Chain A
Amino acid sequence: MSRISRRQALALGAAAALPRIAIAQGDDRPTITIAVQRIANSNTLDSLREQSNVGERTSLMFNERLIDLDYRGNLAQVPSLATAWRRIDDTTVELKLRPGVKFHNGDDFTAEDVAFSFGPARMFGETRPVVNGQTLPVAFSAIVGQGAKKVPDEIPPVARRLWPGLDRVDIVDRHTVRFVNATPDVTLEGRLSALGSEIVNRRAYEAAPTWLDYARKPVGTGPYRIREFRPDTLLVLDAHDAYWGGRPPIRTLRLVEVPEVSSRINGLLSGEYQFACDIPPDQIVAVERNPAFEIQGGTILNHRITTFDKHHPQLRDPRVRLAFAHAMDRQAIIDGLWAGRTRVPAGMQWEFFGDMFVKGWTAPEFDPAKARQLLKDAGYKGDPIPYRLLNNYYTNQLPTSQVLVEMWRQVGLNVEITMKENWTQIRDRSSPRGVRDWSAGATFNDPVGSIVSGFGPNGAAQQAGEYDNAEFSQLCVVLETSADRARRHAAFARMLAIAEREDPAYTILHQNAAFTAKRKDIKWKAAPSFAMDFRASNFSL
């Protein structure tokens, strides 16, 4: 029997260890830590449940949609899991799926996953599209794939807001699908690029014991896969090396929840974090004083607005509401509180609306004399108007409100701030509501996703009883169902005129902006959105 000497044994051990060391040394990609104020509001990572700015930030790290947005450009639609798409008719879009895409669990991405992602088991439950006020009959006898689990009851209404008319997804072949809507809809492509339209892995979804188990660890096709999610604390993602868009440049991506701004900045300066998100404008100078760090970011697809309850006795006359709009020196607020890093937008619209953008439309000009005249014409006598306010729910909310109250006082408006603790109190109807703060985002590149969802018949403002206007509501239907682009454009222009001038529902304040502090030596560009892109094309050290 041959014997192995101690020296030989050591040599064998070293040889066995060699490949592992080589692998470890071969992967010299960095671990990046990002400090965020909040990882997820709902404590889940399912984009239908986490319909929030923070959900938008993380979703594209591990999920993907069929159509993506050009985050380093003008947010135009670009191919993602679909390589091409074409209109069959006003109700149908056909998409060619990208071949060779792997999910995080190694499965191939196919048309089955697309149909499942937009099916009743994951999205719609037993709800059906509404056509001309009539709900279509249920077309399926059982919700396939639901198994022992059931989507929470609140998911189908969220899905129906995003996809009110989607009837079904037809599988043409393994890599071709057709989205069939119950009504004409020119925004189907836009809806495919919105948060909530991510593709899930059918097998992983069905295998999860409960909906919550899947929602805590979704399996997507994005550049990073979820390793660990500790709610309110930590999200750890590893590189998905089989990613179709190229090997991810970061080995491990860690998002840590650091609620305090000062703690996020201190952690960045001390080298624990490489990125610190949600930096308020007044901290920009403090961060950039250190030449090793810089601030990225700027305007995003979200506007801050002041909303009116038109049924308040002092606000019934639209001239009073318009006086509010003309009394606001928006640029002064931007210069004073935002260090000039945002802008006054052209009403509730964004350039990425493309041909739906109403050129020449502007926010009401700062004109105190006109505001005073409007109040005089309306017979306003200086009666108090309540202004319900949250403490900095929005960035700079409190100082902005104090400045606004003074601006309104200058023209004769008697606005009284009432601090509230939460949205229930803001919306409470038991005492008179006057004006309040809100924000309006563009979920996709069409006004249906912003002005209609905010102020239309099913929008939060009308449902809360703050606003109604028959013509405006009629035009919402045109925007939602007409396939005539010229007619839709005219309808949107008219809606802006009604909601921002003739019978104001709100007035625009400024475009929102988001800022991220980072190490300057990291080559990374912030998107004009909350989404953070850490693909190879947007990150290097």
Chain B
Amino acid sequence: MLRFLGLRLARAALTIGLVVTFAFVVLRLSGDPALMIMSPEAPAEAIAAFRHAWGLDQPIWAQYLRYFGAILHGELGQSMRDGRPAIQLVAERIPATLAITLPALLVKVGLGIPAGIHAALHRDSLTDRIVMAGAVAGFTVPSFVLGLLLVLLFAVQLGWLPSGGQESWRSAILPVITLGLGGAGILARFTRSAMLEVLGQPYIRTASAKGVPWRAVVRGHALPNAAIPTVTVVGFMVGSLIAGAVVVESVFSWPGVGRLLVVAVANRDLAVVQCILLLVAATMVLSNLIVDLLYGVLDPRLRSQAAAGAH
């Protein structure tokens, strides 16, 4: 088990290192932060002074070594636009993002999984077709289109909800629905497929033939076996809690990490972008690790394989 964990952690560290390196190289080669932040019309002396102040006049490898060294010391750098530590800026935005992504995750799980199960148990029925049509619509309609449609209906036409901003809890409703519906559609599709596959297995027929009540068959045999692909997808969704709302935050002017990321990328505010990417990578890696551990809980065969591998 320790070896299993150690391998996973080493892989996680490598992934994060690669993400940070890739982001650094791409951002630094694709634009000069001094021109972005100072404006192209700024005097040459002002741009030179800015570059010098932030070490941008150094060779890129020197900048990278300095940056990576700082990360190893736990320093994620300062925002060039804001002057404050990047981690502080990002930390300020996380609650706002979680305020919509966490409820949206509940919507995804609370709506998507039951809908997928129901559709699978009533395969080819009218409800199955309705659920699947809704699911396909949910994940194929881009979130900015869905968001704008919801705004047109509930804010502009009916006047029930705010169209954007972060004025009150009511402002979060439309972003949560927009995020939630798309994810629920994906989960419903995955859950239905997984359930259909499991329901066709011989052990389901055996359990039914033995006289086990259908509800018990579903609860005791079908659901646990169908859970693995569903848990994998939910794991990805948990991993994207921090930066999975970039588009929705822009549409609804929601001041979260996604908005900060867009502005930071546009201005080549390197420290902020890298801090967010580091956080996203860490969240994703952690979420995958938890999912891997959950596999063992859900499926004893995987647990014994892992144990055998450890010996």
Contact = CB atoms under 8 A, between A and B. Distances in A.
B40 A423 contact: yes
B30 A260 contact: no
Contacts of B32: 422-424
Nearest to B144: A260
Nearest to B32: A424
B30 A154 contact: no
B47 A154 contact: yes
B259 A266 contact: no
Interface in B267-295: 268
Given A157-B43, A232-B259, A427-B40, A263 B49 contact: no
A258 B38 CA distance: 22
Interface in A428-464: 454, 458, 460, 463
Nearest to B171: A272
Nearest to A428: B32
B207 interface: no
Contact of B163 (A42, A158, A230, A266): A266
A525 interface: no
A389 B150 CA distance: 34
A35 B165 CA distance: 10
B17 interface: no
B112 interface: no
Contacts of B47: 154
B53 A152 contact: yes
B37 A263 contact: no
B141 interface: no
A154 B251 contact: no
A43 interface: yes
B164 A263 contact: yes
A256 B81 contact: no
Contacts of B137: none
B260 interface: yes
A256 B253 contact: yes
A51 B255 contact: no
A270 interface: yes
A262 interface: yes
Nearest to A258: B253
Contacts of A152: 49-50, 53
B36 interface: yes
A426 B31 CA distance: 10
B46 interface: yes
Contacts of A281: none
B78 to A, nearest CB: 11
Contacts, number: 126
A230 B268 CA distance: 20
Interface stretch (B69-77, B154-162, B198-206): B154-162
B124 interface: no
A424 B31 contact: yes
A128 B200 CA distance: 85
Nearest to B148: A262
B263 interface: yes
Contact of B152 (A161, A266, A421): A266
A272 B42 contact: no
B163 A272 contact: yes
A269 interface: yes
B24 interface: no
Contacts of B262: 259
A269 B156 contact: yes
B250 A422 contact: no
Nearest to B269: A43
A519 B32 CA distance: 41
B44 interface: yes
Given A421-B31, A460-B41, A266 B159 contact: no
A79 interface: no
Nearest to A48: B46
B37 A266 contact: no
Given A158-B46, A266-B155, A233 B31 contact: no
A373 interface: no
A340 interface: no
Interface string B99-113: 000000000000000
A199 to B, nearest CB: 22
B255 A232 contact: yes
A311 interface: no
Ranked nearest first, the 8 interchain pairs of A and B with the lowest CB-CB distance are A153-B49, A157-B45, A154-B46, A157-B46, A422-B31, A423-B40, A424-B32, A270-B155
Interface of B: 30-32, 35-47, 49-50, 52-53, 81-83, 148, 151-152, 155-156, 159, 162-165, 250-253, 255, 259-260, 262-263, 268
Given A263-B252, A270-B156, A272-B155, 20 more contacts: A52-B39, A152-B53, A153-B46, A153-B49, A153-B52, A154-B49, A160-B45, A231-B81, A232-B255, A232-B263, A233-B255, A256-B165, A257-B253, A263-B151, A266-B151, A422-B35, A423-B31, A424-B30, A425-B31, A460-B40
Interface of A: 35, 41-43, 51-52, 152-155, 157-158, 160-161, 212, 230-234, 256-260, 262-263, 266-267, 269-272, 421-427, 454, 458, 460, 463
29 contacts: A43-B82, A152-B53, A153-B49, A153-B53, A154-B47, A154-B53, A157-B43, A157-B44, A157-B49, A158-B42, A231-B81, A232-B259, A233-B255, A259-B250, A259-B262, A260-B253, A263-B148, A263-B163, A263-B252, A267-B163, A267-B165, A267-B253, A422-B268, A423-B36, A424-B36, A425-B30, A427-B40, A454-B41, A458-B43
